[in-house]
Amino acid sequence: MKKLKVFILIIVFLFLFIFINELFAQKYVTNFPEGSMIDDYYEDPENHEVIILGDCEVYANFTPMVMYKNEGITAYVRGNSHQLIWQSYGLLKETLKYEIPKVVVLNVASLKVSEPEKEPYNRLLLDKMKWSKEKIEIIKSSMTEDESFISYIFPIIRYHSRYNELTLDDLKYMFNHKVVTYNGYLINKEIKGVSTLPTKKRLGSYTFKDNVIDYLDKIRELCQENNIKLVLIKAPSLYPYWYTEYDNQVKDYANKYNLDYYNFLDNIEEIGIDYSHDTYDGGLHLNLYGATKLSTYFGRILKDKYDLTDYRLDNEISDIYNQKLYEYNNAIKE
Amino acid sequence: MKKIGIVLLIVVCFLTMGCGKEVKENDNKESNPDAYTFSYNGLDYVLGSEFTTSKYGKEDSYSEAASCAFDGADKTFTYEHFEVATYPDGDIDRIASIYFLDHEIKTPEGISLGDSINDMNNAYGSDYQQSENLYTYTLGRTHLNFIVENDTITSIEYYYDAEN
């Protein structure tokens, strides 16, 4: 009898603990929807011929719905705020468990970062990532000095101080997910043109660090093993500055391994980006209007060069995508 | 039975008390001697302290950069000879960095752009961290960076370590 009571007590405790743990965890619905982007992918993790990896320069600048509408491309942006190169590698490995795309596009902006920098960005990427070997690897390689692994397992360790900011959303989305992106693209329609940019500072070193290149090598090798074409890009964000020295290293790397590299900063006029209108934060990220232009431009390149399928001609896939497009069009009209 | 309850309670307390990363209050007060301070026209720019244009004067130009996901913006105020970048801390802006734009200004220790690496060593000593061309002196949570090319200082920047 006593054993039974102990057993029941432990079960009650466990349920209570799980409940409190989930209740206090960040939901990333109303505030910081960027933290939900990782989770969106699990709703639709198949049939993408193009996977786009990178930081905010991809989820703000490339809209797969435009690529589908114009070219019939099925693309997904697996990008998160301040996503670092080892995180992109981990996400690519995770992606390959679900699907093998024809093309992986990697934005190279993160090559200039060789160490974990900010804990809140780790949280945005990792809190809602499904548990897997890849997640564990990403946590281990991303933790900053003050972080603990266990706080990723038990979010209450990190978020217990949220007790006074809990809302109904915390109950509503405890075990549910709200999709916030359109194939990884986060809509932003605000307009804040470029006025003045900070001075372009000299740097002590422009050379990418060895650990960063190691991860780039791993991404390239993983693509090669899976017969995936790796394409390097630099999104046309005016700031933080993309130095010529950085660009030359990427060009050299691309030449060495016979990869395509598109630095869209070189094609701003051709793409038609108007920085007085097409950015929502003074040149860091494109808004919907800029992203539409860039995705139209890049979609054409992808279609012309990489033998992608026109899924508008596939009944099954086009049904899914027409519904997505319908929802996307409604969202951008709101 | 009671013991088990207590053990479970202790486990919960252990997991929830004081383990989370809290946003640390900025402890860098105006008078903190453990911080680099830049002075210009009789005004002290203490890294990590509050910045307002009412105190430091109207800038020649201004730009701001929002963070990828979080509220607030990093702001840059450009003056004739230097640039002040700030970071948001609640409702106020704090000095994140000061970047020298020309050789018309000096650090309080007398170093300006164009001086030699020997001048730097004489003024600040050899207790620096070097990474390629970058020499970093640290005082508390503040840092002073010199970039040296061909033995000549080509960049001077103070910055504050707000994340630690």
Taking only the tens place, the pLDDT of each residue in B73-106 is 788 999 999 999 998 888 899 999 999 999 999 9
Q: What does the radius of gyration of chain B's CA atoms come to, in whole angstroms?
A: 21
Domain boundaries, chain B: 27-160
Give the pLDDT score at B18: 45
What is the spatial distance between Cα A61 and Cα A115, in angstroms, rounded to a whole number?
25
Contact: A34, B69; criterion CB under 8 Å: yes
- Please indicate whether residue B71 or residue A62 has the higher confidence score (pLDDT): A62
**pLDDT level of residue A21 (50, 70, 90 thresholds):** confident
What distances in angstroms separate CA A17 from CA A13, A22, A27, B7, one per listed residue? 6, 9, 17, 14
Rounded to the nearest angstrom, the minimum Cα separation between A315 and chain B is 37
Residues of chain A positioned with their CB less than 8 A from the CB of B63: 195-198, 282
The domain that holds A291 is classified in CATH as 3.40.50.1110
Contact: A161, B22; criterion CB under 8 Å: yes
Number of neighbours of residue A50 by Cβ within 10 angstroms:
27
Domain membership of residue A18 as a residue range: 2-333
Residues of chain B positioned with their CB less than 8 A from the CB of A5: 1
**pLDDT level of residue A272 (50, 70, 90 thresholds):** very high
Give the pLDDT score at B68: 67
Q: Under an 8 Å CB criterion, which residues of B touch A?
A: 1, 4-5, 8, 12, 15-17, 19-22, 61-66, 68-70, 76, 78, 83, 85, 99, 101, 131-135, 145, 147, 154-155, 157, 163-164
What is the spatial distance between Cα A71 and Cα A80, in angstroms, rounded to a whole number?
25
Residues of chain A positioned with their CB less than 8 A from the CB of B16: 156-157, 160
Give the pLDDT score at A41: 97
What distances in angstroms separate CA B69 from CA A123, A124, A294, B95, one per listed residue? 12, 9, 21, 21
Q: What pairing do the DSSP bridges indicate for beta strands B129-131 and B134-139?
A: antiparallel
Give the pLDDT score at B91: 87
Chain A residue nearest residue B99, CA to CA: A201
Total domains, chain A: 1
Sequential DSSP letters for A4-69: HHHHHHHHHHHHHHHHHHHHHS---SSS-GGGGHHHHHHHS-S--SEEEEESHHHHTT--HHHHHH
Which of the four CATH numbers 3.40.33.10, 3.90.76.10, 3.30.70.141, 3.20.20.80 does domain B27-160 have? 3.40.33.10
Give the pLDDT score at A247: 98
φ and ψ of A250, to 5 deg:
-70, -40
Number of neighbours of residue A258 by Cβ within 10 angstroms:
7
